[in-house]
Amino acid sequence: MDTRDAISDFLTSRRAKLTPEQVGLPDFGGRRRVPGLRREEVALVAGMSSEYYKRLERGNAAGVSESVIDGVSRALQLDDAEHAHLHDLIRAANTGAHPQQRRRPVRKTQLTSGMRQTIDAMSTVPVYVQNGRLDAIATNMLGRAVFSEMLDHARPPANAARFVFLDARAQTFYPDWEGQTRQIVALLRGEAGRSPYDRQLSDLIGELSTRSDLFRKLWGAHDVREHRTGLKTVHHPVVGDLELTFQAMDLAADRGLQMIVFSAEPGSATHERLQLLANLTETTTERAIG
């Protein structure tokens, strides 16, 4: 990834989303050549010279301080995920100026035995572990059953982005498929900022951009998002619709991996369907062993 271009495109895309009124500036009318704020207006709100901001938006991040990042984030009304992404891009740009400082990430492909034992013990809830590229690293038994459409018959490692954009079953599995596509791209965009020298991530983005017009369009929006908590609805081919809340946690013992734990409200239809799926999975496993 060219970090200079990434900084420029990200800042330009955020600037285009705002109006002078939204940042407390008067709008004197007149024709604007581009949508959103002008560079000079961003600089004014951020408390810096126009020339300095223009250099930054061209991707020149040399010597950019935390206070500058905070000022630009405030001016562009960035949320926490966007602020962190801008910070990552600027750090990467400065690291890129010194090739000897570049570190290619080492992505784990399996859990420690202790964490494997832990997720297996969580037998009443689906558990799914992924890395920043959205490769499926591990699941417990119920997690594999819930996401069987994505995991079964996929070339290893199964990848959530490939499934959503390249597998027709995803549009049935995710009732809000369009929302899922936006979330997937926003997660990958954030990871690209954190790990600009990850060759496998670059290859994945290149593959998806080549094979999916929708991915290419969404990638150009430069949206980023964190994946911490929320609601995920899936249509399971055996037990039907499941409305699952999730909590995502970074694993301290397995750096670079995120564990996502799903649950359902007790007494709900989803809770009953999860129990049915757990029973069916256990029965199938016992038959296979027997």
Q: How confident is the model at residue 287 (pLDDT cuts 50, 70, 90)?
A: low
Residues of the chain with CATH 3.30.450.180: 113-289
Mean pLDDT of 89-107: 67
**Candidates 3.30.450.180, 3.40.50.720, 1.10.3720.10, 3.90.550.10; CATH matching 113-289:** 3.30.450.180
**Among 112-116, 145-149, 203-207, 236-240, where is mean pLDDT lowest?**
112-116
Residue with tokens 């809830």, as numbered in its chain: 125
Q: 102 near 96, Cβ under 8 Å?
A: yes
- pLDDT at 290 (0 to 100): 53
> How far from 59 is each of 64, 91, 189, CA to CA, in Å?
11, 12, 17
Q: What's the average model confidence in pLDDT over 259-265?
A: 97
Q: Mean per-residue pLDDT for 23-44?
A: 84
CA 6, CA 2: separation in Å to the nearest integer?
Answer: 6
d(CA 162, CA 46): 39
Portions of the chain given CATH number 1.10.260.40: 3-101
The label of the residue with tokens 């965009």 reads 189
Report the C-alpha gap between 85 and 288 in whole angstroms: 46
What letter does residue 139 receive in the DSSP assignment? Answer: E
Amino acid 288: pLDDT: 63
Q: Strand 257-263 to strand 127-131: parallel, antiparallel, or no bridges (unpaired)? A: antiparallel
What pLDDT is recorded for position 35? 78
SS3 26: coil
Ranges of H-type helices in 65-137? 66-75, 80-96, 113-121
| Between 100 and 31, the higher pLDDT residue | 31
CATH class label, 3-101: mainly alpha
Within the chain, residue ranges assigned H as helices are 3-15, 39-46, 50-57, 66-75, 80-96, 113-121, 141-146, 148-151, 160-166, 170-173, 177-194, 199-211, 213-219, 269-289
Task: Express each pLDDT in 203-252 by its tens digit.
Answer: 999 999 999 999 999 999 999 998 899 999 999 999 999 999 999 999 87
